[in-house]
Homo-oligomer: A and B are copies of this chain.
């Protein structure tokens, strides 16, 4: 039987220090819980920090890259165990959310917003972390049942555990 996969999605080059700190901590705890971490795989921002956190706790990390092999501008995060090369740019965002049992959105940006929206479209639960009140209102309005808001990393982990029990 396939393992539980938790996706962590967030800004790349435009991620804030707070986004990355939260992502690193989140990745660490996801690995500790025995879940597989799935990210966008690049060596920048939230995806990089989450993957580094997961490796620090001995976890397994999957990166779904928008690039062809060898073509990534910032390259692959060295904290990625399995690199899936899609060569399909932002269209790979749909694969990220379809392949995650729960999607944690850490920080916000145009690409991240598309992942949150695609997740809701596919019926996947999302946990919002480190997002502003506008984003929280917008996604809650799109789907009240599947949008969860976490106060901090510990809260996000608690929400994931609750969601996994009900799916």
A binding-site residues for B, Cβ under 8 Å: 1-3, 5, 36, 60, 62-64, 68-69, 76, 78, 80-95, 98-99, 108-111, 113-114, 117-118, 120-122, 132, 134-135, 137-138, 141-143
Interchain CB contact under 8 A, A82 and B2: yes
Interchain CB contact under 8 A, B114 and A118: yes
Q: Measured between C-beta atoms, what is the minimum distance from A10 to chain B in Å?
A: 13
Q: Measured between C-beta atoms, what is the minimum distance from A5 to chain B in Å?
A: 7
Q: With the chains together, A106 CA to B82 CA distance in Å?
A: 23
Q: How many copies does the complex hold?
A: 4
Residues of B with C-beta under 8 A to A141: 132, 134
Interchain CB contact under 8 A, A114 and B109: no
Interchain CB contact under 8 A, A82 and B62: yes
Interchain CB contact under 8 A, A110 and B99: no
Interchain CB contact under 8 A, A113 and B142: yes
Top 3 A-B pairs ranked by shortest CB distance? A114-B117, A88-B88, A113-B117
Q: Measured between C-beta atoms, what is the minimum distance from A27 to chain B in Å?
A: 16
Interchain CB contact under 8 A, B110 and A113: no
Q: Which residue of B is nearest A137, CB measured? A: B134
User: Can you name 5 extra interface pairs (CB under 8 A) apart from A36-B82, A90-B121?
Assistant: A2-B82, A84-B84, A84-B95, A87-B91, A110-B121
